[in-house]
Amino acid sequence: MATILILATRPESDVLPSLELLSHSVKTIPAQPAELVNAPNSDVIIVDARTDLVSAKSLCKILQATGLSAPLLLVITEGGLAAVSPDWGVTDVILETAGPAEVDARIRLALGRANSASHSDSRVLASGVVIDEASYSVKVHDKPLDLTYKEFELLRFLSTHPSRVFTREQLLSEVWGYDYFGGTRTVDVHVRRLRAKLGEMEQLIGTVRNVGYRFNVADDARKAPLSA
């Protein structure tokens, strides 16, 4: 069962009648920015866009600007679908005529996607190394590492492909981009700096002689050579 907050244009009306047939906990407040200050916590937020598309879009943008973490669903008429675009920032749309099975499925899927995204933001990679993709930060045994943007991107890319070997040319393409004009020596320099900052965890970045680099899983890291 999910806790659902509905921001309704007319709080006295049923924004989504099918919800009454489901077991979710539902709270309805007026769709006004001032009401958001004291809005209760919820697993899902539903915005009523049936009668006022302009105000609904503005409210969605305000919710996104305040760092909304809950999935944002939009209840809309079939005629209003053409007005919805990616810049609304909504997770999904639901027609006001949707039946209970469809409404429940969309809520469950939205919650599932949000849960997957939150778990992928931060990964414990190996032996106390944590990468937080949302804040572009890395910690080793809870100690923050001061990485440059490219050092972070290099570590993140390698770590998301554990044990796979990448040539220097592949890393240049994936991390620096096809339009980068520097040589492959740039990769060696960044690997050397990254290892220095990893300290006792430096062997997580392994070298495969005459091929390139890889991210070692925990067992490999203890025995992998570091020769460049």
Q: What is the CATH number of the domain that holds 66?
A: 3.40.50.2300
> What would the pLDDT profile of 8-43 be if each residue is shown by its tens digit?
988 777 899 999 899 999 999 999 988 888 888 899
Q: What is the pLDDT of residues 167-208, one digit of tens each?
A: 999 998 888 886 667 788 899 999 999 999 999 889 999 999
Tell me which of 120, 151, 170 is where a domain ends: 120
Question: Is 164 within the bounds of a domain?
Answer: yes
Clarify whether residues 116 and 155 are in a common domain.
no
Q: Is residue 204 part of a domain?
A: yes
Vertex 134 angle, CA 133 and 136, to 5°: 60
* Same domain membership, residue 133 and residue 79: no
pTM over 0.85: no
- Are residues 207 and 134 part of one domain? yes
Domain boundary among 120, 137, 168: 120
In a domain, 197, yes or no: yes
**Statement to judge: residues 13 and 102 lie in one domain:** yes
Give the separation between CA 4 and CA 86, rounded to whole angstroms. 22
| Block residue for tokens 């091929």 | 211
> What amino acid is encoded at 181 in this protein?
F
Strand order in the sheet with 129-132: 122-126, 129-132, 137-140, 143-145
Structural domain including 45 reads: 3-120
Domain-ending residue, one of 120, 146, 178: 120
- What does the angle CA 140 – CA 143 – CA 149 come to, to the nearest 5 degrees? 75
Q: How many domains does the chain have?
A: 2
Burial of residue 134, with CB atoms counted within 10 A of its CB: 0-12 exposed, 13-18 middle, 19 or more buried:
exposed
